Structure 1
Amino acid sequence: MRDVFVRILTFFNTVKSKIAFYPTLLSFVGFGFALFMMTLEENGVSKYLIDKFPKLVLEDGDTALTILSVCIGGLISMMVFSFSMVMLLLSQASSNFSPRLLPGLISDKNHQIILGSYLATILYNIFTLFSIEPTDEKYTLPGFSILVGIVLTILCLVLFIYFIHTISQSIQINNILDTIYDKSRKRLTSIIETEEEKDDKLVADFPAIDNWYVYTPLKSGYFQNISLRNILTIAKEKDTRLFIAVPKGLFVLKNVPFLYSEKELEDKTVKEILSNINFARGELVEDNYILAFKQITEIAVKAMSPGVNDPGTAINAIDYLTELFSLRMKKRDSGVLVYEGIAYLKIAVVNFEDLLYNVMASLRTYCKHDPIIVQKLIWMLSYLKEQTPVAQSYTRIIEKELSVLLDEAKNAFDSKTDIQKVIKLFDNS
């Protein structure tokens, strides 16, 4: 039962990030609503409307056909335009910022719901159109259904205005950065809150895996999601400890050591454990906060490329990286999970040193020629050095990166003034 539930949840998490998910769902809603309205019409709802509000009902079938035809044609035009705008947004984001942004933009629920509302209203109006005869008189027309179709069309016009507003906001780099930061901050904060509930001694005493049994994954893909409660329950039932050797968010290959167990497990148990782990072909910030560091770093690097040449965007990206690193310094590098007072599971993590190095290596390579960006990076590292980390080793790692950055900048700058400025800033850090 647990396996079925996890598979359903995994499938839902996968399809809901697709651009066609909500439009498809809402199209069925529109079709079902049209059938529901036909049932109401058979029960005389339009006659009641004529008796109570006669001015809301059309006089003849020709007028009703014309109005609904115009509504359908207009909605189709709006839907085509809206889809074109979404494609333009994706193209602009991919070329100007980073292709990694596309999954997050495609999964924007607001855009999907708006497009789905268009499609649902179109289907509703089409099926309502089928029930109208040109010779129908006032008392035989599905007046209430026609009125609802007109109201839904007006609502779609309002949604279209909102869509234009949101699409113009979505393409702005500040909003893109803010969205990435907000998603990763929520994810990282939840992880930190979970860690605060753990006993430090239990985390530190997790045994070494030297003589443990090794198991490989059944398929390859990005290690995206994991049902922790189910795996912890299995570990408790089998009275064993488990170690997942690949950090979340990294690509897992077949026949590569992935799962370690303190005790030997049956094939059925291994398959049950692996069935609670989702290997996907894409990545989302909501599932892996590390992706936010990658995306923001790539935006900064792309902004400093000769084809874009936008230092302002790079500076904004560094500001967001500063906040994320400051939050990351509150998280341990352990990855141990405790269940009912026992450390049953440990998941490999991208430690702080590797994370900071990966970000700084890219920024140093592509931004070291710009003194303003180098000063901003020194400011970022100086700020992080002043924060209170969960481990003192984090501060030493930051100091090391500061020294490397200064050496790179000295070799990259041609101006003595720039070099002196950077050295002065470094000395004050």
Structure 2
Amino acid sequence: MLSFDHQPVKKYLYKVFESLDKLESKIAFYPSIISLLGLVFAFFMIYLESQGVSKYLVEHAPILVVNNTETARSLLTTFIAGLISIMVFSFSLVMILLNQASSNFSPRVLPGLISNRRHQIILGIYNSTLLYCIFTLVSIAPTGDKYQIPGFSVLLSIVFMTLSLGAFIYFIHSISQEIQVNTIMDKIYKKSKTRLETLIENEQHHDTTFEDTSNWNHVMADSTGYIQDMSLNALADLAEEHQLKIEIVPIKGAYVLKGIPILKYKGNSDKALEKKLGETITFSNSELIEDNYILAFKQITEIALKAMSPGINDPGTCINAIDYLTELFALRMTKKDESYYFDDNGNALIFIKTVSFEQLLYNVMAALRTYCKHDIIILQKLFLMLQYLLQNDEVLNEKYHQIVVKEIQNLEKDALDNHSNEADIGIIKSCIERLRQVNTSGYEI
């Protein structure tokens, strides 16, 4: 009996599924697929017309057939010209949306807007209908009797054009919603929340020890870019096959330079194995929240900072951004700082470095303190956020409360140093006093 090694097949399938997942975020993915379907359907209708479908319908259901050659040509020509105009207008609106989002909010939100599936499908409907109408027009015989006219195909082009007009109306409605900053932040929040909840659900909440990795073998990066994704399934298969323990050195989403360590493994040094291990790491020049929830904190923080810039001066948007950050931080406090991949027996095979809660909270608060410390309204909102986190009963690690207390002290110092008005100082001190009253963490504010 022939033996078959499933490992190469599994690794290949992992890479195929991951590649398809990344392609889905490209703006041309769905338009290309739907346009191809429109082209295939056009050739299918040409084949049916050659088999006499229009002749049959003229005899049995004449209402379903456009019988006049000039009418058919006029309709199709008008549809083609109209669809080109609609497509140009729609693409212009998309570019305006991306430009405005980049200048008013943050360039980091662009990948999320580009990957909007609804807009991709609408653009695909336009293009597929356009291709269908072009090939149907070409198939009209220049001479001959009425049965040589693709009458049923022309009727279908009217249906498709009606569908395109409906999609255009929906597109105008959708684009007007997408440009609103609250809609952008809400989508960022929901994507990050879903990703965080998935990680927390898959997390095994028990103490895990991982041995010292300082003397392990290294796998170097063979290219430069952001670590977009890690194929943990393929990495675990290699670990089990070769009896390895693995540490992923950079944090997911970090920018990695060629030639620096990306993996450490415990086992015999093997260049072929190192090449296979390195292939499980995907590099990219773009970042998506679906792959890395940390991006949501960065993007919402950047929107808040941009709103507080002198050119925009929109404290209301900053307050809304802090509300979303509060909910995300509260959810992050239910997650462990260390992440592991376990085998079926519960043994830690892979150690995954992640951004700690302390580092995450400090990075966000440092930026907000720097750019918002002059606004007393924003300061009150930040104190309320820290109060909510301090009172969070679902916290996984009590050390998180100590981290929150430390940020309260940092915010208090910056706030008092940047305000000389007695009324403002009184509000800051009252916020601190309220925090002391509700503080039950055991750490002194």
Class of the TM-score when normalised by the shorter of the 2 chains: over 0.9
> Of residues 18, 43, 62 in structure 1, which corresponds to 2:70?
62
Amino acid at match of 2:97: L
Equivalent-residue separation in structure 2 for 1:9 and 1:163 (angstroms): 30
| Cα distance, 1:10 vs structure 2 | 3.6
> Of residues 278, 281, 288 in structure 1, which corresponds to 2:285?
281
Cα contact 1:26–1:120 (8 A) shared by 2 = yes
Amino acid at match of 2:89: F
Equivalent-residue separation in structure 1 for 2:373 and 2:227 (angstroms): 33
| Cα distance, 1:102 vs structure 2 | 0.7
1:360 aligned onto 2:348: no
Equivalent-residue separation in structure 2 for 1:160 and 1:357 (angstroms): 45
Cα contact 1:10–1:278 (8 A) shared by 2 = no
Cα contact 2:372–2:379 (8 A) shared by 1 = yes
1:379 aligned onto 2:379: no
Equivalent-residue separation in structure 1 for 2:43 and 2:136 (angstroms): 9
| Cα distance, 1:223 vs structure 2 | 1.0
Higher mean C-alpha deviation, range 23-32 or range 375-384: 23-32
1:300 aligned onto 2:304: yes
Equivalent-residue separation in structure 1 for 2:292 and 2:76 (angstroms): 47
> Of residues 405, 413, 430 in structure 2, which corresponds to 1:407?
413
Q: Partner residue of 1:167?
A: 175
Q: Partner residue of 1:188?
A: 196
| Cα distance, 1:120 vs structure 2 | 0.5
How many aligned residue pairs are there? 425
Q: Partner residue of 2:399?
A: 393
| Cα distance, 1:15 vs structure 2 | 2.6
1:28-47 CA-partner distances (Å, limit 9, x unpaired): 11111100111111122112
Q: Partner residue of 1:346?
A: 351
Q: Which runs of 4+ in 1 moved over 3 A?
A: 133-138
Within 5 A, what are the aligned runs for 1:205-220?
205-220=209-224
Cα contact 1:60–1:137 (8 A) shared by 2 = no
Instruction: Normalising by structure 1, report the TM-score.
Output: 0.96
Name structure 1 gaps, 5 residues minimum: none
Equivalent-residue separation in structure 2 for 1:337 and 1:423 (angstroms): 46
SS at match of 1:321: helix
Q: Partner residue of 1:320?
A: 324
1:236 aligned onto 2:240: yes
Name structure 2 gaps, 5 residues minimum: 1-8, 436-445
Amino acid at match of 1:357: Y
Equivalent-residue separation in structure 1 for 2:56 and 2:423 (angstroms): 84
1:135-179 CA-partner distances (Å, limit 9, x unpaired): 454333111111111100000000000000100000001110000
Amino acid at match of 1:176: I
Amino acid at match of 2:311: G
1:256-297 CA-partner distances (Å, limit 9, x unpaired): 222111223311111111211111111000100000000000
| Cα distance, 1:217 vs structure 2 | 1.5
**What CA RMSD, in Å, does the superposition of the two structures yield over aligned residues?**
1.3
1:421 aligned onto 2:427: yes
Equivalent-residue separation in structure 1 for 2:407 and 2:277 (angstroms): 39
Cα contact 2:219–2:277 (8 A) shared by 1 = no
The percentage of counterpart residues that share the same residue type is: 50
Instruction: Normalising by structure 2, report the TM-score.
Output: 0.93
Equivalent-residue separation in structure 2 for 1:58 and 1:245 (angstroms): 66
Equivalent-residue separation in structure 1 for 2:244 and 2:148 (angstroms): 73
| Cα distance, 1:5 vs structure 2 | 2.5
SS at match of 2:351: strand
Cα contact 2:250–2:262 (8 A) shared by 1 = yes
Cα contact 1:59–1:137 (8 A) shared by 2 = no
> Of residues 202, 206, 209 in structure 2, which corresponds to 1:200?
206
Equivalent-residue separation in structure 1 for 2:77 and 2:396 (angstroms): 65
Equivalent-residue separation in structure 2 for 1:403 and 1:237 (angstroms): 50
1:334 aligned onto 2:334: no
| Cα distance, 1:13 vs structure 2 | 2.9
| Cα distance, 1:199 vs structure 2 | 5.5
> Of residues 119, 124, 133 in structure 2, which corresponds to 1:125?
133
Equivalent-residue separation in structure 2 for 1:94 and 1:332 (angstroms): 33
Q: Partner residue of 1:139?
A: 147
| Cα distance, 1:52 vs structure 2 | 2.9
Equivalent-residue separation in structure 1 for 2:121 and 2:80 (angstroms): 18
Cα contact 2:219–2:278 (8 A) shared by 1 = no
Equivalent-residue separation in structure 1 for 2:146 and 2:210 (angstroms): 79
